A = this chain, B = another copy of it.
């Protein structure tokens, strides 16, 4: 069978990389010929999880079409977040937990989205549905993805299925998920050795909102005030990135993973900043606003922004 790539979104996180590895394993068991690849290097948190469970980082590709005709997407569907030449290959499978936007195909395909906290939870269900055993180390990686996306089951995106998956996978992987999970999340919060330019690009996604190119980045920390000491440098980096990449708005969500609160920094035109304020019904104070309880870009940021921009 002809080889297909399996990969997650650009600026990959633990779900994008971990679930690509898991879904590739599952599909190969089901008779496909796939290779898990990535659209970028693992971040600190993902590197921690890969190392813990003995996986190499998937090789990074810049383009798909030179090597394969068909691909499988995990943890994303929007072309803007995918491989640069996504229009040149056929998408045969998608497993995702995001909204669907600008995703069009000529042919029928396999598409499985569920409003769960993590794509690995859906893949866990698919392993069960197909009666395929999850190897111990892979279970650990899938567990890491769910812990990452749900901030240890505390994000409002968390569903009962995520909780069941975490229980089941922790058992297979033979780890105390709370202890391991906190250590893994903390491994991703070390911002001191990274520049602002790096930090605003680590976990950043672009969204086409009614003709506006909107960038939403997120950083996890354990100490919000410490992170905000670098506010001016963040704003400067966001301005520069917007100029270079044509973003109409750039929002940086800095999330305290311990108490699930966030602070947002926003740069953009007066128009887009007003739309931001409308979306969250809050006023920006010197480009900054507190967003208590907001931790999920997918569920708590993109929907209100979409509504405000389209309103």
- Residues of B with C-beta under 8 A to A113: 108-112
**Interface assignment of A273: CB less than 8 Å from any CB of chain B:** no
For the residues of A in contact with B, the DSSP-based class is loop
- Residues of B with C-beta under 8 A to A101: 104-105
**Interface assignment of A97: CB less than 8 Å from any CB of chain B:** yes
* B105 touching A103, Cβ below 8 Å: no
Q: Which of A100-141 contact B (CB under 8 A)?
A: 100-115, 125, 129
**Interface assignment of A206: CB less than 8 Å from any CB of chain B:** no
- Residues of B with C-beta under 8 A to A302: 106
A43 CB to closest chain B CB (Å) equals: 23
A93 CB to closest chain B CB (Å) equals: 10
- How many copies of this chain does one complex carry? 2
Are A299 and B104 CB-contacts (below 8 A) given A112-B112, A129-B129? no
* A99 touching B110, Cβ below 8 Å: no
- Residues of B with C-beta under 8 A to A111: 100, 111-114
* A100 touching B104, Cβ below 8 Å: yes
* Chain B residue at minimum C-beta to C-beta distance from A102: B104
* B298 touching A108, Cβ below 8 Å: yes
**Interface assignment of A307: CB less than 8 Å from any CB of chain B:** yes
**Which residue, A98, A107, A310, has most C-beta atoms of chain B within 10 A?**
A107
**Interface assignment of A292: CB less than 8 Å from any CB of chain B:** no
Q: Which of A42-97 contact B (CB under 8 A)?
A: 97
**Interface assignment of A303: CB less than 8 Å from any CB of chain B:** yes
* Chain B residue at minimum C-beta to C-beta distance from A78: B104
* A303 touching B112, Cβ below 8 Å: no
**Interface assignment of A306: CB less than 8 Å from any CB of chain B:** yes
Contact flags A289-310 to B (C-beta < 8 A → 1, else 0): 0000000001100110011001
* B99 touching A105, Cβ below 8 Å: yes
- Residues of B with C-beta under 8 A to A114: 108, 110-111
Q: Which residues of A come within 8 Å of B, CB atoms?
A: 97-115, 125, 129, 157, 298-299, 302-303, 306-307, 310
In addition to A101-B104, A106-B306, 19 A-B residue pairs with Cβ atoms within 8 Å of each other are A98-B108, A99-B105, A99-B106, A99-B109, A100-B100, A100-B104, A100-B105, A100-B109, A101-B105, A103-B103, A108-B157, A108-B299, A109-B113, A110-B113, A110-B114, A110-B115, A111-B112, A111-B114, A125-B129
